[in-house]
Every structure is written in structure tokens, then in C-alpha cells.
Amino acid sequence: MELKLKKVAVRSLLDGDKTSFSDGVLKVNRREIVDMLMKDKRFSSAMVELALPGESTRILPVKDVVEPRCKLEGPGEVFPGFIGDVETVGEGTTLALVGAAVVTCGKIVGFQEGIIDMSGPGAEYTPFSKTLNVVLVVEPVEGLEKHEYESACRLAGLKTAHYLASAAKGATGGEVETYCLPDLAKAMTSFPGLPKVAYLYMLQSQGLLHDTYVYGVDAKRIIPTLIHPNEVMDGAIVSGNCVSACDKNNTYSHQNNPIIHHMYKRHGKDLNFVGCVITNENTTLADKKRSSSYAVKLAKMLGVEGVIISEEGFGNPDTDLIMNCRKAEQSGIKTVLVTDEYAGRDGASQSLADACPEADAVVTAANANEIIVLPRMEKIIGLPDTANVIAGGFQGSLREDGSIEVEIQAITGATSELGFSRIGAYTI
Amino acid sequence: MKYKVVHYINQFFAGIGGEEMAGHKPESRKGFVGPGQAFNAALAPDAEIVGTVICGDTYFADNLEKAEKEVLDLIASFSPDAVVAGPAFNAGRYGTACGAVCEAVRKNLGLPTVSGMYEENPGVDMYRKSTYIARTADSARGMKDAVPAMARLLLKQLKGEPIGKPDDEGYIERGVRVNFFMDKIGAERAVDMFVKKLKGEPFTTEYPMPTFDRVPPNPPVADMKSATIALVTSGGIVPKGNPDHIEASSASKYGEYSLAGVMTINSSTHETAHGGYDPTYANDDPNRVLPVDVMRDLEKEGAFKKFHETFYATVGNGTSVGNARRFGTEIAQKLKDANVDAVIVTST
């Protein structure tokens, strides 16, 4: 399977009479987006705002972030099951508007949405302070159930991302990256001497608004399965999560999964990357046992020597992470884990809810309980009083002067367990 | 302007006397005393020892809360910017006192602190999370190395300079996780580590896994008919009003409570002290967590011989493994002494 990813850089984001893209300038007709979103009868109102790096702007409560992408050639369309039909994606050519992002805002669960600061100390912690953001603030009609609101909000982000990319279909220039992994028969004999490896990709699926979708299917209903990394780039995995903002994998970081990116980079040089196994993080013990055994069995069927395992979320999913690790290592498959930590505000507690001696190679995306003070911003997009109820915030965390004292847990993407940022931790 | 530092030492290092003088009550003196001279030199020119607080080791150990307060007041009277305690080397009571003083200073005065100890000093395990403790030799022969190491750690804190990893800076690992921005993103670090592990090359994990103490279960009770059974809970059920003030999270103690003649418990007699779950149903009927009613029924039916009329309770919510292990050891010993044959441990 071969995918050409045409990456066009967006350098400037402006209002315009017509949504269009040329010479790195993305112009947005906000009215047109509002009209498109309001076709969904589940919304009572929709607003579009622009947020740019360096501005004194705070966005909250953030639900999801999506990179504008669309297909230029090849079968299917991005976000299969939502925008595209449920046909297989990951081949042909896909356009990505790099440097731009669609940010969806809505008070769905209240305490599980995030904060994005476009400048100041908080901006260091989120990747989305560096993107040119088209922010959608959508409110539900009265009486709409939370899961319906989530679904509407999710779709709004995907639609807008596809709409923006589609306006840039004729864009010239940009850089084309080619991603190709052969079929398994060929992969098994490629690069003799290099270790065959896979990526064990854990998806949040605890339910009750802790959900992830694969080709539109709720991941808690799947049995672990194989997925080609190129499918992920085309939006085959979509976030439907309302869990702590710091370490839920938003749709943007699925599309740009940096573990996949770096596995590709070393492919053919240090390792032979044969593909990804996706698995879930369900709440019952039977599901945990079944999924971890099944995922490791798939890795064994592929005959890989090692897997990188990434977690999503924390606490309960720590047990899935450790089960995956232990079962893989006990089958002779070497593991590296990517997680984050909840070591308490003082950093003095045990970081994970579960552990095993086999987990001897761990990369951490930092302690999510660490406190940060986010100074007042001139402009607030969204609903500032939600800071008091966002996970990692606490009653009174929104101060009178407009500053917010929160755990970095509240910042969107702060401790990404896909290893999206440079943050880490050590023991003093 | 120089930073003002107070030095805490025991009666021995103050030259007052050895074990026979260990009951010496807290006192303070202006300027440095004993090893303080070396500290004063090592802290120069940025800081100086403005006062010394002295306390006998036995006095401190025997009057823990009182002594801590007295020492703290004496320290505060100098209005210092920081406190150095010890070094205590391998002297257990002295190390414990140094640790307690540093912890109290940090908590109550919010000042930077440093002590110095041999790694096996019991004060290390008790206080390393609360203060920097420089790694020292096991006796005062190590004073020459201890002083500059401790002075450096204190000055870095005073100046707000970042303190690096334990081995680089010469202090005993505190077990505290701190965040920092690395050169490479997490995914790249993961793939780097992965390649090394696959090649069999050395690599360093970013989070060494804690080792969990796994206890193999005992064999089943052979003769239930003649067994005495007790209840123990980490679900926080305590007599109404929580008389021992067991903390809602990070419990530092457990309670021991009588059930003599008690056939059942209810919302007016018992409640939960636990802060980690919705207490509505536990408070509504505490038997849901501590099943006294069912135990009494079974006792009456003869399922076992006797229900032990004392229960033990703590809160298992963020409670440190160290405390939990201590509670378990003590409770088990008490149950054994009372000839209890088996115990039902309930959690939440």
C-alpha cells in the first residue's frame, strides 16, 4: 500500500469572502462554515473564530483538534465512516494543510475538555499553540443528550477539516512524502537481517464518552486487528473522546501519529516495520484479557521481534498497557512503552496504577499532575468558567484576575502518549 | 546582601556532650557552632550562617511534636532564607531529627532545606521526599566531602537554579518526579530506545517500574467451624465522627475499633472517611463496605465459630505503599496475638 501525502504549508489564516487557498494563505468564509454546521439540527448555534500563534488568546473547553485533509487521488475519502464512505483508505494521494487546524469547542462533559493558550507559559505545553486555528464553538439544542452532542461536535470538526482542505485542492507546490509498506508476503522477506517489528496502538474505549472510532466503528466493539499505517494518515481513526485533555489522542495526533512517522523513518535502516495492530482499552477484566491476548497473538502471527506500545489515557488503561507488555515480553516480543504519569502534584506518588518487571523500556510524556499558572489572556474563545471543572482544574482555579491555576492535565495534548511533544520527566 | 542560613545540629556536634547529654533541650546561638564554621566558609560569599539551633537527639525523639515546634520557633526567630541540618552521617536519631526539622521548615516556613546522611540512615527513607539529602559517608570522617555538597545544593535552591539528577548532584534520590522538556519528542525517543533494545544495546528507561510486593495467598481455612474470623477494611469505615481523624486520602494511620455486642452498624453509628469514591451508599449503610450484619448472621448460623469483635480500618486512597505495609504488618500481628484464624479484607 502506497500513499502520497502532499503537504502544503499554511503560513497565514485570514477572513475572506470565499474560502480559498493560495500562496500559503488560507482564507475562510466563516458564514459558509456556520451555514454548513447549522445543517445539523442538533446545534442551536455555531460560531467560527480564528486563533493565531502568539496572540493573547485562550481557547476552552476544547474537545478535539483535526488537521484539514482531503483525498486528491485514489480510492475513498478521508475520515471513512464519517466523511468518506467506509471503503478502505491509505492509497493514492492525500492533501494536508500543514500548520492549520480545526479546533472544536463545546461543554460536553465539562470536566473533560481542554485548554489551548496561543501564547504565554501554557502555549509551551500544547502543540496547538503553533497551529493556525479555525475554532468552532458549537452549542446543542435544548435537551440534546451528551453523547449526541459529542457525535455532532465530532462530525462538525471532521466536516470543516475536509471542507478547508477541499478548498485547497488546486494548490501547487508543497512537499510530497511517499509512505509505502508492502504486503505481508513481501514484508516477511524484505530487509533480511533487520528485525521485523510492529506498532501496538491502544485506543481509548472505556465507553460513556471515552470512545474512539475506526472506520466509523466504536473501538470497544472490535477485536484487535491489523491496520496499515497509511490508513491512519487518512483519518481511519477518529477521536470521540471526552477524557482528560492532556493525554487523549485527538484526531490531529492520530492523523500525524509521530510513532508511525518515526517507525517509517527507521524502516529499512534499523528495522523492518510490517504494520500496526490496533487494540482497545475496555473496562471489564474479560475484555482486557481477551484484547491483550489477541493483540499479542496477532503480533506473534506476524512474527515480529518487537512492538512499540502506546497507551491512551491513564488509570484504568494502565492495566491494559501492562497486560499487553507482559504478554508480549513473555512471548519473546520486545517492548517499548509510551505513557504519561500521575505522580501527584508533588510528584512523590507512584506514577502508574499498574506495573510489571517486564516493562523495562518506558518513554514518559511527563507528570500530568504538575501545576501551572496560566496568566490572563485578552481574548477568550469559548467558556472561561469551565476552567473550574476541567480535569486538572479545581474549584477556584479560575482566579479573579482571569488567570487559571491548573494541572497540566487540563492542557490539550500536554502529555501526549503518542509522543507528540518534547516533554518528559525524571526522578530527582 | 547575603542569604541568611540557620544551621540545625545535635548536642554532640555542638560540643555539649555525647549520649549522656542527649536530653539537652532546644537552644539557639548566634552565628555558627562546630561544623557550622565549615558551612559558613562553603556558603561564602552568597550566604552565611546567622544562627545555630541545637537540640539533644533523645529530647527530640522523645518529644517529637513539642521539640519540632520549639526548634521551628527558634529557627524562625532568625528570619532565615534557608536551613541546613546536620550532616547526620549514620546516626539514626540525629538523621531522623534533621529530616523532621527540614520537613517542618519546608511545610511551615516554605524555605529551602538540605541535610546530609549516609544512605542507610533511617532518616533517609522517612524524609527524602521532603528535602534534599546529600549522600555522605557513614561517619563524621566524611565531613570534608559532605559540607561542600550540602552547601552547593542549598545555594542552588536559594538562587533558583535547576537541580539536576541525583547522581550528578550528589544527593539521595528523593523519589519525586519532575517534568522537563527534552531535545527530542517522545515518539522519537521511543523509537531510539526500541532500536537499542532490539540490538541488545544498553538503554535507559525514562520510568523505572516500581516493584510491587506480591503476597501469595494463604491456603484455605481447613476447619471453618472452629475458626475465629475478623474484618479489616481499606474502605474507610470508622465510628461516626472519625475519632482518629484518618485522612480522606494518603492515610498515615489506621484505626482499631470495638464491635463488642454490636450486631449491625448503620448510618448513625458508622461512616466512611474515604475520599476516593462517592460515599453516598457507604454512609447510607456502612455494612456495604464492612459487612458486620452478615458476619453476625453467619456466626449465628454456625458457618464459623466466632466473629472477632475488633475491626481495623484505614483509607486506601493514594496511601503510600510504605504506610500500607506498616499498617498490614501491625494489624496482622495484633490479629495473630488475638488468635484470629482468618480475616476478610474489604476494599472499595
AA identity, residue A117: D
- Please report residues of A whose CB lies closer than 8 A to that of B188: 258, 262, 419
Assess whether pLDDT exceeds 70 at residue A394. no
B165 to A428: CB separation less than 8 angstroms, yes or no: yes
Confidence of residue B278 (pLDDT cuts 50, 70, 90): low
The three cell numbers of residue A322 are 501492562
Q: How far is B276 from chain A (nearest CA, A)?
A: 13
Please give the pLDDT value at position A270.
98
Per-residue pLDDT band for A173 (boundaries 50, 70, 90) equals confident
Q: Which residue out of B168, B179, B321 would a mutagenesis test of the A interface target, given it has the greatest number of A Cβ atoms within 10 Å?
A: B179
Whose grid coordinates read 561517619?
A: B139
Q: Do B205 and A370 touch (CB under 8 A)?
A: no
Give the gap in angstroms from C-alpha B46 to the nearest C-alpha of chain A: 25
Is B190–A334 a contact, with Cβ atoms under 8 angstroms apart? Answer: no
Whether residue B191 and residue A416 make contact (CB cut-off 8 A), yes or no, is: no
Instruction: Find which of B132, B209, B317, B323 to mutate to test the A interface (most A CBs within 10 Å of its CB).
Output: B209
Chain A: residue nearest B195 by CA? Answer: A270
Percentage of chain B exceeding pLDDT 70: 96
Indicate the average pLDDT of chain A. 94
Is B186–A265 a contact, with Cβ atoms under 8 angstroms apart?
Answer: no
The answer to whether residue B318 scores a pLDDT higher than 60 is no
Q: What is the length of chain A?
A: 428
Q: How far is CA A314 from CA A31, A284, B277, B278, in A?
A: 39, 15, 17, 20
Cα–Cα distance measured from residue B236 to residue B270, given in angstroms and rounded to the nearest whole number: 10
Would you call A364 and B190 a contact, using CB atoms and an 8 Å cutoff?
no
**How large a percentage of chain A has pLDDT more than 70?**
96
- The minimal CB distance from B187 to the residues A258, A349, A423 is found for A258
| Chosen from A338, A369, A394, A428 to mutate, greatest number of chain B CBs within 10 A | A428
- Domain range annotation of chain B: 3-169, 224-346
Stretch A2-10: mean pLDDT: 98
* Chain B residues near residue A265 by CB distance under 8 angstroms: 191
CB contact under 8 A, B205 and A360: yes
H or E stretch covering B166: helix B166-169
What is d(CA B59, CA A417) in angstroms, rounded to the nearest whole number?
51
- Dihedral angle over CA of B184, B186, B187, B192, nearest 10: 60
Q: Do B187 and A418 touch (CB under 8 A)?
A: yes
Res A1 pLDDT > 70: yes
- Chain B residue with minimum CA distance to A363: B206
For residue B214, what is the nearest residue in chain A, using CA coordinates? A356
Q: For residue B178, which residues of chain A lie inside 8 Å, CB to CB?
A: 347, 367, 370, 425-428
Q: Which residue has cell 515546634?
A: B69
Phi-psi region of A216 (alpha: psi -120 to 50; beta: other; left: phi over 0): left
> Of the candidates A341, A417, A422, which has its C-beta nearest B182's C-beta?
A422
Mean pLDDT to the nearest integer, A132-141: 96
Pairing of the two strands A57-66 and B310-313:
unpaired
φ, ψ dihedrals at B318, nearest 5°: 65, 15
Does residue B162 have a pLDDT over 90?
Answer: no
Single-letter amino acid code for the residue at A239: S
**In Å, how far is B169's CA from the nearest CA of chain A?**
10
Measured between beta carbons, which residues in chain A are less than 8 angstroms from residue B319? none
Pick from A262, A364, A423: which is nearest to B187 by CB? Answer: A262
Give the pLDDT confidence of B290-313 residue by residue, as tens digits: 999 999 999 999 999 999 999 999
Residues of B in contact with A394 (CB under 8 A): none
pLDDT for position A388: 65
Q: What residue spans define the domains of chain A?
A: 2-410
pLDDT at A348: 81
Mutant choice from B181, B204, B206, B277 vs A, greatest count of A C-beta within 10 A: B206
Whether the CB-CB separation of B18 and B91 falls below 8 Å is answered with: no
- Nearest chain A CA: its distance from B203 CA (Å): 8
CB of B204 within 8 Å of any CB in chain A? no
Q: Which residues of A touch B179 (CB under 8 A)?
A: 366-367, 370, 408, 423-425
Most confident of A146-155, A292-301, B248-257: A292-301
Q: Say what the pLDDT of residue A377 is.
A: 93
Chain-chain contact of B177 with A347 (C-beta, under 8 angstroms) = yes
* Closest residue to A422, CB basis, from B165, B177, B185: B185
Question: Of A341, A363, A426, which has the smallest distance from its Cβ to B186's Cβ?
Answer: A363
Is the CB of A370 less than 8 angstroms away from the CB of B321? no
The residue of B161, B163, B176, B177 whose CB has the most chain A CBs within 10 angstroms, and thus the best one to mutate to test that interface, is B177
Given an 8 Å threshold on Cβ–Cβ distance, is B182 in contact with A424?
yes
pLDDT of residue B109: 96
C-alpha cell belonging to residue A427: 526522578
Residue A390 confidence class, pLDDT cut points 50, 70, 90? low
Distance of CA A23 to the CA centre of its chain: 28
Query: Do B186 and A419 count as a contact with CB atoms less than 8 A apart?
Result: yes
Catalytic residue numbers of A read 242
Paired strand residues for A20: A27
Contact status, residue A216 vs residue A80, Cβ threshold 8 Å: yes
CA distance A46 to chain B (A): 35
- pLDDT of A387 over the 70 cut: no
Domain over B3-169 is classified CATH 3.20.20.140: no
Percent of chain A scoring above 90 in pLDDT: 83
B26-57 per-position pLDDT tens digit: 999 999 999 999 999 999 999 999 999 999 99
C-alpha cell at A381: 474563545
Residues forming beta bridges with residue A161, ordered by sequence position: none
Judged by CB atoms closer than 8 Å, whether chains meet at B179 and A420 is answered as no
Q: What value, to the nearest 5°, has the Cα angle with vertex B28 and ends B24 and B30?
A: 145
- Please say if the pLDDT value at position B276 is more than 70: no
pLDDT tens for each residue of B56-90:
999 999 998 999 999 999 999 999 999 999 999 99
Bridge-based pairing of strands B342-346 and B228-233 is: parallel
Question: Is residue B209 less than 8 Å (CB to CB) from chain A?
Answer: yes
Distance, first Cα to last Cα, chain B: 56
Nearest to B187 among A349, A360, A420 (CB): A420
Closest residue in A to B171 (Cα) is: A428
The alpha-carbon gap from B298 to the nearest alpha carbon of chain A, in Å, equals 30
Q: How many CB atoms lie within 10 A of CB A297?
A: 14
Examine the pLDDT at A72 and tell me if it is beyond 90. yes
Cis peptide before B217 (omega within 30 of 0): no
In the predicted structure, residue A112 carries a pLDDT above the cut 70 = no
Minimum-distance CB partner of B191 among A308, A357, A408:
A308
User: Which residues from chain A sit within 8 angstroms of residue B174, using beta carbons?
Assistant: 348, 427-428
H helix runs in A177-250, sequence order: 184-189, 229-233
Minimum distance, in Å, between the CA of residue B162 and any CA atom of chain A:
11
Query: Is residue A396 very low, low, confident or very high in pLDDT (cuts 50, 70, 90)?
Result: low
pLDDT bin (cut points 50, 70, 90) of residue B175 is: confident
CB-defined contacts A:B, below 8 A: 167
Band (pLDDT 50/70/90 cuts) for residue A397 is confident
Among B126, B129, B130, B185, the residue to mutate for chain A (most A Cβ within 10 A): B185
- CB < 8 Å to A349, chain B: 318, 320
B186 touches A at CB < 8 Å: yes
Spatial neighbors of A366 by CB under 8 A, at least 6 apart, are: A340, A341, A408, A414, A415, A423, A424, A425, B179
Q: Is A425 in contact with B185 (Cβ distance < 8 A)? A: no
Check pLDDT > 70 for residue B208: yes
